[in-house]
Amino acid sequence: MRTTQGVPPPRFDDYVALGVDTLIVPTTFKQAHGNPIWDRAMNEEFSALEANRTWTVVDRLNPCPPTIGSRWVYAIKVRLDGSVERNRARLVALGYTQEYGVDYNETFAPVAKMSIVRTMLAVAALQNWPLHQLDVKNAFLHGDLEEVIYIERPPGYTVGHEDQVCLLHRSLYGLKQASRAWFEKFHSTITQLGFQQSLNDPSLFTKVTAAGLVVLLFYVDDMVITGTYMKGITQLKDGLKQAFNIKDLGTLSYFLGLEVSRNDQGILPSQRKYIYDLLTDHNFEDCKPVKTPMEVNLKLQKDSGSRLKDGSQYRSIVGSLIYLSATRPDIAYVVQVVSQFMTEPCVDHPVAVHRILRYLHGTLDVGILFPSSSTPTLCAYSNSDFAGCLDTRRSTSGWCVQFGEAYISWRYKKQDKLSKSSTEAEYRAMSEVGSEIVWLRRLLSDFGITCPAPLSLSVDNTSAIRIATNHVLHDHTKHIEIHVHYIRDLVRDGTIVLHHLQTEEQVADLFTKAFSTSRHWYLGNKLMLRDRHQFGGGC
């Protein structure tokens, strides 16, 4: 009888062709060692490390400086359709044993924000630009280390003697400075290829020539390339392939959990697989769907029932929902509400979360459309829910920014300060979106798109508009912090023009409260939420 967990019989050497659900991922080197599939994966990792000259095996010094341990992490990489692509074994340094100032210093490395990803997709749809995706294999191993770091010989490594250690020359997964070292390496390489880092976001790189524009968006080991100059895109790919082990994934179809479909109507990113996996992981794949993510007039509080004994599942679901809201503005408000109780969830809070899952079960294929035909203008909508939080009586800001007909940025956040009136709450929300729309205007200039002033900001509160445009009303605003009056400056210098619209047409309403089914989907339709099956088209 076989007793080693997760080790298949020898005749199953090619069991990677089976469904992922039939496989057991080992958690320790002892479980994986002896399995031909995982041994092969570990040998591939060692080969990559040696080819990259990641370390040198040296004698242990006397006295020996502090060394860092390492461990294996195993995973099964799956394709979009759920089939197994490959088994991956990654050697990870035990970075939690590193000492600041000795083994590492700076650790921060920029990655693309979701608002920039959406902006790139919206621009590519509108301008009919191609979208290409690249993946860097073993990205962190390319970073050069400035510190002197020794690690113990990894489990399964047969080069050298047992009493020797490895002196690192390149970064290793798990090191605290690994992401920063890799970004610095990538930055130096991309600048040598003639690209400039955007002043508006460090994850964006552009190259402007007489022949056209090429844009690259960077997210750890994934990159998206677009632009007007196809030859320049090809040259960029060739240059990166010479510097790194690059896998060209072709036309963008699956990026950061986003499934990207494209046809003549435009580009529609959705997260069907992400939602399905979330439902499956928490046994909601067969639940009864509902038509809205939250009951109307439901108000949750910190003490909504007794405390949960174990809130880990609640935190796990809410964390996943926060990421899901990158393409689902229809759940933005309710996710903001339930995320406030992650520290100490009560019995009523999971009920609200479960309703979101039931709503998602009925809207698996919904995504947000970036149309291919519209005018490249920039405008925004702002709203607030006055004193909506029953625990703090603070208001919630909700706003969204529209590029053409596509919504590229939105936010839903409880305000930092208590507002004395609904007008003040609206005024604070206007100031927040004012900063965002000015930044997005600069960001679009990196894509070669100019949005002339004044930019439109639509609000359904006439009193807030009067305060922003009339300095005579000082007595009504002297208690408001100076930075909130930023919106006044934008109006005065002509950057933004304020418009009043009827509450019924205020799309930002969806970010501040729950609605009935008809109202919810009316606003969702205005926010360009579409079903993939109705959208049609392929990747």
Kindly list the distances between the CA atom of residue 462 and the CA atoms of 128, 423, 470, 536, in Å, as whole numbers in the listed order.
39, 8, 12, 42
The two three-digit tokens of residue 218, written as one number: 């960077």
Determine the pLDDT at residue 482: 64
Determine the pLDDT at residue 11: 36
The two three-digit tokens of residue 406, written as one number: 């596509």
Determine the pLDDT at residue 481: 60
Determine the pLDDT at residue 538: 45
- Other C-beta atoms lying within 10 Å of the C-beta of residue 152: 17
Determine the pLDDT at residue 157: 93
> 3-class SS at 32?
helix
Nearest to 361 by CA among 437, 473, 284: 284
Determine the pLDDT at residue 374: 84
Kindly list the distances between the CA atom of residue 95 and the CA atoms of 110, 216, 257, 296, 348, in Å, as whole numbers in the listed order.
20, 30, 27, 47, 39
Q: What is the pTM of this model?
A: 0.87
Mean pLDDT taken over the chain = 89
Cβ-based burial of 181 (10 A; exposed 0-12, middle 13-18, buried ≥19): buried
Identity at 411, one-letter amino acid code: R
Higher-pLDDT residue of 65 and 290 is: 290
Segment 122-137, tens digit of pLDDT: 999 999 999 999 999 8
Segment 500-538, tens digit of pLDDT: 999 999 999 999 999 999 999 999 999 999 998 877 644
* Residues paired with 73 in a beta bridge: 90
Query: Once rounded to an integer, what is the mean pLDDT over residues 384-406?
Result: 89
- 205-236 burial code (b ≥16 CB/10 A, e <16): bbbbeeeebbbbbbbbbbbbbbbbbeebbeeb
Determine the pLDDT at residue 165: 93
Higher-pLDDT residue of 63 and 72 is: 72
Determine the pLDDT at residue 400: 96
Segment 89-100, tens digit of pLDDT: 999 999 999 989
Q: How far apart are CA 233 and CA 255, in angstroms?
A: 18
Q: How far apart are CA 409 and CA 146, in angstroms?
A: 38
Segment 438-496, tens digit of pLDDT: 999 999 999 999 999 899 999 999 988 888 887 655 555 655 766 678 888 899 899 99
pLDDT at 298 exceeding the cut of 50: yes
Q: How far apart are CA 400 and CA 439, in angstroms?
A: 13
Determine the pLDDT at residue 473: 54
pLDDT at 419 exceeding the cut of 90: no
pLDDT bin (cut points 50, 70, 90) of residue 299 is: confident
Which of these ranges, 23-27, 110-114, 401-405, has the smallest mean pLDDT?
23-27
Segment 219-255, tens digit of pLDDT: 999 999 999 999 999 999 999 999 999 999 999 999 9
DSSP conformational letter for 103:
T
pLDDT at 76 exceeding the cut of 60: yes
pLDDT at 10 exceeding the cut of 60: no
- Identify whether the C-beta of residue 230 lies closer than 8 Å to the C-beta of residue 217: no
The two three-digit tokens of residue 87, written as one number: 């088994």
pLDDT bin (cut points 50, 70, 90) of residue 194 is: very high
Q: Which residue intervals of 362-461 are DSSP H helices?
A: 422-446
pLDDT bin (cut points 50, 70, 90) of residue 22 is: very low
pLDDT bin (cut points 50, 70, 90) of residue 15 is: very low
Nearest to 384 by CA among 343, 342, 432: 432
pLDDT at 14 exceeding the cut of 80: no
pLDDT at 208 exceeding the cut of 90: yes
pLDDT at 266 exceeding the cut of 60: yes
Q: What percent of the chain has pLDDT over 70?
A: 92
pLDDT at 7 exceeding the cut of 80: no
Q: What percent of the chain has pLDDT over 90?
A: 70
Determine the pLDDT at residue 48: 87
Determine the pLDDT at residue 8: 43
